Amino acid sequence: MARLPNVRLELGNRPENVLLVRETLTGVAESVGLDGGDLSDVRTAVTEACNNVVLHAYPGGGGPLEVDVDVSPGSLTVVVRDHGVGIGARAPGRPDDVAEGGIGLPVIEALSHTVEFAETPGGGTEVRMAFATPGVRGLESTAAIPGGTGEGGGAGLEALGPSFASVTIAPVLLARAVVPRLLCVLAARAHFSTDRISDSQLLADALVAHASGAIAGSHMRLIVNVEPRDLELQVGPLITGRAEGLVLDSGLEGLGSVLEKLADGHGVSSADSHDTLTLTLRDRAQTA
């Protein structure tokens, strides 16, 4: 099994999903001690690479946008990947020939320590950006989760619906900084009220605070499907039999079982010797 990065985002190439990438990078920075100036450079370069996927990777349609983030002591690597027309179709010749088409290559090259371009298997483009980040703490090494993808595979997630987000993340330190940020953005996208957005953040805080003892493997994966006034969260892979306990034991700051109180419903499914917990959130104030 191929090693997974510390964070893998699998998204559709919709413009609004670039914000999810930027929020993820902010959460990573908070966890590993990346200072504001370095974070600004990383977010700007990665935004340019993501915008290229949004604008140019899938002429006449949509497709997956994948972003991997890996942290080592003193360095940060971000890979932006698509499964679209590929570099050759977009840029016959040197990759920087497409700068005028919106890829922002001069910006990426100026802000990255190194940048590499490659074609992904089956077609598409991978932009690998490495950033020198002195003082950044390293994270524990990670391994592929059972049944997980080693080199991307976001295309299959599109069956979930018109708006989805998947994050695969380890260690829990990162999940605590990243997942609540992402869920707040997605709750706002679902047109939740301010109170319900706050509930979504509280639910995410409780989930990541208690999930470490229930996760089967090194990574936690959260898939969120977004509809108007409605969010569906799939959490896994969980050790068989641990999902209900995660719901019941999700106390946070004396608030009792937060997942049970704030979710509008939950269910457990089993596959490949692991469980998946599904939580649903609706904006009751909006639908009443």
Domain end point (choices 132, 153, 171): 132
Rounded-to-integer distance, Cα 164 and Cα 233, Å:
10
Q: Same domain for 195 and 233?
A: yes
Residue 125 lies in a domain: yes
Q: Are residues 113 and 209 in the same domain?
A: no
Residues 123 and 44 in one domain: yes
Does any domain span residue 42? yes
Q: Say which CATH number the domain at 74 has.
A: 3.30.565.10
Q: Are residues 38 and 128 in the same domain?
A: yes
Task: Say if 97 falls within a structural domain.
Answer: yes
In this prediction, residue 136 carries a pLDDT of 85
Note down the domain range covering 274.
161-287
Residues 219-270: tens digit of each pLDDT: 999 999 999 999 999 999 999 999 999 998 887 777 789 999 999 999 999 9
| Tens digit of each residue's pLDDT (9 = 90 or more) over 18-34 | 999 999 999 999 999 99
Clarify whether residues 176 and 247 are in a common domain: yes
Q: Residue 214 burial by CB count (10 A; 0-12/13-18/19+): exposed, middle or buried?
A: buried
Classify the C-alpha dihedral 93-124-58-53 as positive or negative.
negative
Within this chain, do residues 77 and 169 fall inside the same structural domain, yes or no?
Answer: no
- DSSP tag of 250: -
Residues 117/61, Cβ–Cβ less than 8 Å: no
Q: Cα 83 vs. chain centroid, distance in angstroms?
A: 17
Residue 151 confidence (pLDDT):
43
Please report whether residue 72 resides in a domain.
Answer: yes
Question: What pLDDT score was predicted for residue 160?
Answer: 47
Write down the pLDDT at residue 281.
Answer: 96
Q: Are residues 180 and 94 in the same domain?
A: no
In a domain, 231, yes or no: yes
On whether residue 189 sits in a domain, the answer given is yes
266 and 194 inside one domain: yes
CA distance 136 to 74: 5
Q: Can you list the residues of the chain whose pLDDT is less than 50?
A: 88-102, 145-161, 288
Instruction: Tell which residue, 219, 259, 265, has the closest CA to residue 238.
Output: 219
- On whether both 181 and 240 belong to a single domain, the answer is yes
Q: Assess if residue 45 is contained within a domain.
A: yes
Contacts of 110 (CB under 8 A, 6+ apart): none
pLDDT value, residue 153: 43
pLDDT of residue 148: 43
Please report, for residues 55, 137, 191, 257, the alpha-carbon distance to residue 81 in angstroms, rounded to integers and kept in the order given: 14, 25, 29, 39
In SS3 terms, 41-93 reads as HHHHHHHHHHHHHHHHCCCCCCCEEEEEEEEECCEEEEEEEECCCHHHHHCCC
Assigned domain for 44 exists? yes
In this structure, are 34 and 127 located in the same domain? yes
Sheet holding 114-119, edge to edge: 114-119, 125-132, 75-82, 64-72, 7-12, 164-169, 220-227, 230-238, 274-282, 265-271
User: Looking at the structure, do residues 51 and 123 belong to the same domain, yes or no?
Assistant: yes
The one-character DSSP state at 157 is: G
Into how many domains does the chain fold?
A: 2
- Give the pLDDT confidence score for residue 145 in this predicted structure: 45
The pTM of the whole model exceeds 0.85: yes
